[in-house]
Amino acid sequence: MEPVSTEHVTAFRRFNRYLTRRIGVLDDHYLGQDRPLGQARLLYEIGDGASLRELRVRLGLDAGYLSRMTRALEAQGLVRTSVHHEDSRLRLAELTPAGRDEVGEQNRRADALAERLLRDLSEDQRGELTAALGTARRLLRLAGIVIERVHGASADARACLDAYAADIDARFPEGFDPTALVRPEEVSGDAGAFLVAYEENRPVGCGALRTLEPGVGEIRHVWVHPEARRLGLARRLLDGLERQAVEHGLGLVRLDTHAVLTEAQAMYRACGYTQIPRYDDNVYAAHWFEKRLTDGAVR
């Protein structure tokens, strides 16, 4: 891993310092009106309803503390609680109309604050700012995603593959038959690898590597959750799979793609893959690629 140069660290910290000075302080106190911060945040987080358990985890609060705050909001008529239908240990919280008003007011104030901040810029400059913040957010999100190797039969792996299958079933004109997916044992242990990308502990992408023949691997099922697209995550997954291939002694990797996945093809080309003739009988494939990973290896 290349070291992070101080230039970038400094730039990042400078920006944070500036932004917190400029808005962070105002933000909380101003937006929460005269309501305590904790309550304001809780109100906001309840949103369209959530169980206390969920809220506890999301906000990282002590159970007792949360219980009391919820009761306080209830006493103010902003929140209504009820018992979960199926699991009566769980308590659900939802906003009353008054609570919704309150959150709406919070949002209006935040908007007004942002608007006041942007007002003195020209429309061009606002566009430039929006673009810059978009880029920054995209990169920070990408930086926050961790990729881990999991067993092909793990719950997260299955969840990703299910989402992947549903996704391409909708995109391939001929649909997609889930039995064409890799079997868990093909992508686990010495046979291959399965990578899952996590954003804030939620799986948002995956990729599989299996062995085609000695020294030759195949990359399959590179998928990114719709909400995590356009971040550059697919490249990172591909990168991770290639590293896995090398570790598995697979100096050459191949992959195929469906005709409709044109962005994927462009990505593979950009990552050093070259088109080759059909190497399998995958009915969904229209293009085949390969990439040599280890130098000097003679086949």
Partner DNA sequence: ATGTTCCTTTGACCTTAGTCAAAGGAACTG
Partner DNA sequence: CAGTTCCTTTGACTAAGGTCAAAGGAACAT
Applying CB under 7 A, the residues found at the interface with DNA are 36-39, 51-53, 56, 61-68, 70-71, 81, 86-91
Residue 56 binding a copy of itself, by CB under 8 A? no
DSSP 103: H
Query: If contact means CB under 5 to 8 A according to the sort of partner, which of DNA, a copy of itself, none does residue 63 touch?
Result: DNA
Pick from 31, 28, 30, 27: nearest CA to 103: 31
80 or 109: CB nearest a copy of itself: 109
Yes or no: say if 42 and 121 are a contact pair by the CB < 8 Å rule. no
Nearer to a copy of itself, 136 or 166 (CB): 136
Candidates 82, 86, 20; CA nearest to 46 is 82
In eight-state DSSP terms, residue 286 is: -
Range 229-288, binding a copy of itself (CB under 8 A): 232, 236
Burial status of residue 10 (CB atoms within 10 A of its CB: 0-12, 13-18, 19 or more)? exposed
71 binds, among DNA, a copy of itself, none (CB under 5 to 8 A by kind): DNA
Q: Which does residue 267 touch among DNA, a copy of itself, none (CB within 5 to 8 A, set by kind)? A: none
Residues 125-154 that bind a copy of itself (CB under 8 A): 125-130, 132-137, 139-146
Q: How far apart are CA 218 and CA 238, in angstroms?
A: 11
Q: How many CB atoms lie within 10 A of CB 80?
A: 15
Q: Residue 37 touches which of DNA, a copy of itself, none (CB < 5 to 8 A by kind)? A: DNA
Q: Which does 144 bind (CB under 5 to 8 A by kind): DNA, a copy of itself, none?
A: a copy of itself
CA distances to 49, 83, 92, 106, 193 from 86, in Å: 16, 9, 11, 33, 38
Q: Between 114 and 286, whose beta carbon lies closer to a copy of itself?
A: 114
Question: HEC string of 245-269?
Answer: HHHCCCCEEEEEECCCCHHHHHHHH
Using the minimum distance from each CB to a copy of itself, give the nearer residue, 126 or 183. 126
Binding site for a copy of itself (CB under 8 A): 1-2, 4-9, 11-16, 18-20, 22-25, 27, 60, 110-111, 114-115, 117-123, 125-130, 132-137, 139-146, 232, 236
